[in-house]
Amino acid sequence: MRLVVENLTYVYRSPFSPVRTALSDVSLAIRHREIVAIVGATGSGKTTLIQHFNGLLRPTQGRVLLDSVDISDSHTDLGWVRKEVGVVFQFPEIQLFEETVYDDIAFGPRNLGLAEEQVEERVCRSLLLVDLDVKAFRTRSPFQLSGGEKRRVAVAGVLAMEPRVLVLDEPTVGLDVKGSRKVENILERCYQQGQTVIFISHDMDLVARLAQRVVVLKQGRVRFDGTKEELFRDEKIVEEVELTLPQVCRFLIGVREKGYPVRTDVFTVGDAKKELNRVFKKEAFRRE
């Protein structure tokens, strides 16, 4: 499923605050089965952009196409759009409201008018996808879960709608390392089963590990759109948009500053070890 944004401008208008342009002439195309990170400083327009992906906001100018269908057109069935594009907002656990985990996840599929057998199948499949045991969790109250478990139940509720595009706003914010890695694994699993994954994050380590492509917004405009390798090699853009380099990159930059010719466009600990071994072996051979 292809998602295309064409010359999108969005202006917030309110009788209680000044007119504010949140997005200006944004264009991008997200192909089927990509993992795309959207990054940028607070207020750069990231959340406003993703709210256009399933019709929660309509462009002031421009349009958003989902498989060539203009989702901002007044005749477009937004029910279909929101089934195809599932959006998980920041702290989605605050939206949990049913008495049991099962009923919370089942809410969306039931609203689709599915038979209870189909609802059961979707709930069980979604729980397994987010690494929660069906028997152990189905009858539990969502309000008695840990923060990480609540986050996964909220994600399961979106996955139960079986969207082909999954969009998440800061999916690991507020979670500890263990909870963050669980969510990261879920997103990798969604991608492996054929979904397009789009996520907003300030966590550049998550972006480095997970994203195939990065879109950088600055003051409502696309400042960069390319691979993570291209982004993190471009020190000018990284400094300009005030991004924090991934920890592995920062470590290797420190090694390079000490005179060792290591590559710095490396993002995992394993690859960093290989790079250090390569350089140090060359240095040892040269000294011999």
Structure tokens at 9: 């401008």
C-beta contacts of 54-59 below 8 A and 24+ residues apart: 54/78, 54/81, 54/82, 54/84, 54/85, 54/86, 54/87, 54/167, 55/81, 55/82, 56/87, 57/10, 59/8, 59/9, 59/10
Residue 78 sits in a domain whose CATH number is: 3.40.50.300
Q: What is the pLDDT of residue 240?
A: 93
Quick one: 272 and 227 in the same domain? no
CA distance 87 to 81: 11
Quick one: 168 and 258 in the same domain? no
Quick one: 236 and 251 in the same domain? no
Quick one: 142 and 180 in the same domain? yes
Dihedral, CA of residue 206, residue 214, residue 174 and residue 86, to nearest 10: -110
Quick one: 223 and 277 in the same domain? no
> Looking at 58-62, 236-240, 265-269, which range is the least confident one?
265-269
Q: What is the pLDDT of residue 16?
A: 82
Quick one: 142 and 256 in the same domain? no
Quick one: 105 and 165 in the same domain? yes
Q: What is the pLDDT of residue 94?
A: 87
pLDDT over 90 at 119, yes or no = yes
Quick one: 142 and 280 in the same domain? no
For 114-131, what is the mean pLDDT? 95
Q: What is the pLDDT of residue 207?
A: 95
Of 205, 225, 242, which residue is a domain's last?
Answer: 242
Domain hosting residue 164, numbered range: 3-242
Mean pLDDT of the chain: 92
pLDDT over 90 at 12, yes or no = yes
- Ramachandran category for residue 224: left, alpha or beta (phi over 0 → left; psi -120 to 50 → alpha): beta
Quick one: 163 and 250 in the same domain? no
DSSP 3-state of 169: strand
Q: What is the pLDDT of residue 283?
A: 64
> Looking at 119-123, 205-209, 251-255, 264-268, which range is the least confident one?
264-268
For 61-79, what is the mean pLDDT? 93
Banded pLDDT at 101 (limits 50, 70, 90): very high
For 134-147, what is the mean pLDDT? 93
Quick one: 183 and 275 in the same domain? no
CA distance 234 to 15: 42
Of 226, 242, 258, which residue is a domain's last?
Answer: 242
CA distance 214 to 233: 13
Quick one: 149 and 111 in the same domain? yes
Quick one: 51 and 174 in the same domain? yes
Q: How far is Cα of residue 3 from the mean position of the Cα atoms in its chain?
A: 15
pLDDT digits (tens, 9 = 90+) for 198-218: 999 999 999 999 999 999 999
For 239-256, what is the mean pLDDT? 90
For 8-27, what is the mean pLDDT? 93
- What is 13-35 written as a DSSP string? EETTEEEEEEEEEEEEEE-TT-E
How many structural domains are present in the chain?
2
